[in-house]
Structure 1
Amino acid sequence: MICHIEAYLNGRWQVAATFEPYPATVERGVEGPCRLQYDVDYAVTNLDNPRAEIVPGLKVGFELFQFETWPAFLVDLLPSGAGRRAWLQRLQAPGDGPHLDWHMLTKGAGNPPGHLRIAEAILPPPPDQFRAGFTKLDILEQQENFLEYAAERGAHVAGASSVQGEAPKYLLVEDLNGMFHAEGALPDERISKFWLVKFPRGKRSNPRNRKVLKNEAPYLEVARRFGIRTGAPLEYQNDTLFVPRFDRAVQSGRVVRHGMHSLYALANIPGFGAAVHHEIYCQALARAATDPAAELREYLLRDILNLALRNTDNHGRNSAILRQADKIALSPVFDFAPMFLDPEGISRVTRWQDEVPGNQPEWGAIAEKLRYGLDPQETRDWLSSQAEKVRTLPDIMHDCRVDDDLIERLAGWIGEVARGLDAARARTVQGGTP
């Protein structure tokens, strides 16, 4: 019971490592013990090369790594939420449970985001009669039934699937003629763009689910105006969101695949993840980032905006790092939306260690905790300077075409967030690293 992890490095896919859950405990899924070892040829070629590490910190060499649970970066590759349910249906599984995690890895991880994939999960291209692809109208009209529709057209043989999260999301590529295909169905030379196509969470008929998705594109533009690292604008039409992917790019006719790891993976949080304090992610980010100070400020800025606009679903898989050439930094922001509207009542998932639910974080205390990467006094001053930017958010939201009722609903709360930041400069705390 073994599988092969492939990495896209130096312009081609290479077998980088082997992974093996212990057969006696494979029924425990991601919670079971396992071992991993770099491929010998890969290790010889890339010995001690940080760029070749399948996840930052897992040094390339000949060591046999043994883990009590599956490495967190592997969990990133597994379909979850709506994607897992789609794969269970495809595998005709009578139920779900940890005993199916191995099957999910070796069947559903053939084309995950980032620069890693499982060799055993790669499927052959579709038959000739299905190679024409789908028009954009096909996707818009079929919406949440698109996976079934795509399967009828043969896309299932190329691994078209939803990725992680409760909202149905599909990884698609656009060919040179503007037709859409499942990722994996086309050779690189026929691809012009990479897309993530997203539909509303839960039932499409629920107006709150539709409102969340509708406002994701304008929320991203608010983030851009606020100074947060963002990718290309999103395209929203007929309850369907087209998201240009930033982990893939076509440059001079060649596909570039960047490494991408969630903050759960970066901080090595086991399993599917739970509520983790911001301090844990910040320490992991400071260890891995090329420019720790810049990334910690970017992280703080994102949390300020998440707080102000109440993007409450801020768990560790809704943030990631991107590995580009010799640079490791936070990826452009994604899954940034008014999640407080979600019918399931999602509360702020990731908080600061001393943060009291319903209250503003103690920004001055936070500045002291981050002294391993930032000067506390400078950070307090910088945090306080963000208050005026926060106060302008209602106007920015209006300019970016966020729904008026959302702006009205958030205006008072935005003022409270600004006042909390005002207090950062005056706050003086004795202490060191957390």
Structure 2
Amino acid sequence: MDCHIEIFHEGQWLEAAHASFSDVVRNGFRPNDCVFEYDLPYAFGDAPAPVSLVIPVDADRHVRKTWPTFLYDLVPQGNGRRFLLDHLKLPDAQASDLPLLCAGAFNPIGRLRIREAVHYYEQHVERHELAADGFTFDELLARSPDFYEMMMVHGMLAAGGTGVQGVAPKYLLTRGHDGKWHPDAALPDDQAQRHYIIKRPRGPSDADRKVLRNEARYMEVARRFGIRSFDIPVLHADMLFIPRFDRRARDGRVQRFHQESVASIAGLAGFGTQADQFELVNAIRSVVDVPLAETIEFIRRDVLNLAMRNTDNHARNTAVQTVDGVTRLTPLFDFAPMYLDPEGITRSARWYHPDSRKELKNWSDILVQLSLPDQERAQVVEALVRFGEQLTTLSGCMREVGVDNDIVDFVTPSIEAQRTQLLALR
């Protein structure tokens, strides 16, 4: 079974690489089950960009024991995964990842897609009559019968439900120049004004709604504390409108930026994998343009995760992107009071001592183990001490932006614990 990987470059889709898999897959993927190679015309073209920041463009044929990990960024998850599993009559198992990739990765986040998935989507459109006129904002909020039918039945593919990962129901919608909202894949680039992810509560409980209601407020707090941010999401009813930063619509054209999870860069296969934060930092530093700045950014984000109890810190909730030739961490995303989630989400990425494998929870111990030049380590310490001083105002800032009072009360002890640790670094 083959999948052909296409990349968006200079306004067009180009075949960049392909991966070949054995027709027989048992218990996942066997040794030598994947052969990966760049398309030769692409490899010898004009300054070709890699499909992954850790897979340089070359003309070699690579026989691999595992998938290239960037492909996992393209495999549908959440509602989109369930939708496709039902369509394909497949069990929810690791062996289904490949057919899901070849059916659902036609319009993912970033600038890659799978050609076989594009064909699957085109066949899907031929089978179903999709609304072509778009929806007004009021129709979107009201989730009119036509809108609901398109989103949940015919339009899951067009709305990109298969192209964005995570458990919470999400749609990829585009606001057109006509002022209406369209399924992302259904609107030509020259008609696009802005691209959004629309997120709904993970489940039906009050806690699920509370998490979603406070996500935009958490994002505003992070922005005020100097964390790299994009335009702050806006909540309308039970729908959170998140402006996308992997695309830029301008002058009738759409730019698609390379975006890749830290899990992919660190070589973590599959989903739900426990990650080592030290390995994630090293992976980030190996691909970004300014390693010191991104190390500080990554650690400051983790301080806020711990202080504000955002426990959903898996390695696909952090990504890097390349914009205007600069590679660095993306703006923050999926930052919310996830300790409230009814499923009991715990931190899946932790700081493990490189030798003992014991989890480290004190920043003084963590900083000693970071693989940094001494001068950089001193600069990291200085930045974190300053951040600790900022944390004095964190609870007040949360109240000021409207975070629910009971959430602020609950996280205040963890804020103080982080502040104390950082100030002790002096």
Instruction: Calculate the TM-score normalised by the size of structure 1.
Output: 0.90
How many angstroms apart in 2 are the aligned matches of 1:373 and 1:339?
35
| Aligned equivalents of 2:182, 2:70: Cα separation in 1 | 27
Separation of aligned partners in 2, 1:188 and 1:30: 40
Report deviation, 1:112: 0.4
Gaps of 5+ in 1: 426-434
Shift of 1:158: 3.3
Aligned to 2:238: 239
After the TM superposition, which of the residue ranges 312-321 and 344-353 deviates more from structure 2? 344-353
For the residues of structure 2 that align with 1:38 and 1:378, how far apart are their CA atoms?
Answer: 40
Partner AA of 1:212 in structure 2: V
Gaps of 5+ in 2: none
Q: Secondary structure at the match of 2:76?
A: coil
Over aligned residue pairs, what C-alpha RMSD do you find? 2.5
Q: Distance in 2 between matches of 1:32 and 1:183?
A: 37
From 78, 93, 116, the equivalent of 2:75 is 78
State which drifts further: 98-107 or 17-26: 17-26
Q: Superposed, which structure 2 residues align to 1:250-269 within 5 Å?
A: 250-269=249-268
Number of the residue aligned with 1:158: 158
- Tell me if 1:117 matches 2:113: yes
Post-superposition CA distance 1:11-39 (Å, at most 9, x none): 22100011111223376259982111111
- Which amino acid in 2 is paired with 1:104? L
Tell me, yes or no, if structure 1 residue 40 matches structure 2 residue 36: no
Aligned to 1:418: 419
Aligned length: 417
Letter in structure 1 aligned against 2:71? L
Aligned to 1:192: 193
Q: For residue 93 of structure 2, what is the aligned residue in structure 1? A: 97
Q: Which residue of 2 aligns with 1:3?
A: 3
Q: Which moved more, 1:156-165 or 1:17-26?
A: 156-165
Structure 1 residue 291 corresponds to structure 2 residue 287: no
One-letter amino acid of the counterpart of residue 201, structure 1? R
Contact residue 311 and residue 347 of structure 2 kept, 8 A: yes
Shift of 1:141: 2.8
Q: Structure 1 residues 225 and 219, CA, compared in 2 at 3 Å: closer, same or farther?
A: same
CA pair 198-232 structure 1, distance change in 2 beyond 3 A: same
- Residues 393-404 of structure 1 mapped to structure 2, 5 A cutoff: 393-404=394-405
Structure-2 change in CA distance of 1:377 and 1:159 (3 Å)? closer
Corresponding residue number in structure 2 for 1:62: 59
Q: In the alignment, which residue of structure 1 is the partner of 2:13? A: 13
Q: Shift of the alpha carbon at 1:207? A: 0.6
* Structure 2 CA distance for partners of 1:241 and 1:361, relative to 1, 3 Å: same
**Kindly tell me: are residues 338 and 12 of structure 1, through their superposed partners in 2, closer, same or farther at Cα, counting changes over 3 Å?**
same
1:13-412 map, 5 Å: 13-25=13-25, 28=28, 33-46=33-46, 49=47, 52-91=49-88, 93=89, 95-122=91-118, 123-124=121-122, 130-142=131-143, 148-150=149-151, 154-156=154-156, 158=158, 160-162=160-162, 163-202=164-203, 204=204, 206-354=205-353, 360-363=361-364, 365-367=366-368, 369-372=370-373, 375-412=376-413
Conserved? CA contact 1:352–1:361, under 8 Å: no
For the residues of structure 1 that align with 2:66 and 2:422, how far apart are their CA atoms? 40
Native 8 Å contact 1:38 1:62 kept in 2:
yes
Q: Indicate if the aligned counterparts of 2:175 and 2:195 stay in contact, CA closer than 8 A.
A: yes
Relative distance call for 1:392 and 1:278 in structure 2 (3 A) is same
Change (3 A) 1:137 1:234: same
1:30–1:111 Cα change, 3 Å: farther
Normalising to structure 2: TM-score of the pair? Answer: 0.91
Aligned equivalents of 1:284, 1:99: Cα separation in 2: 27
Q: Which whole-Å deviations, capped at 9, do the CAs of 1:260-303 have from their partners, x for residues lacking one? A: 00000111112225111111011111110011111111111111
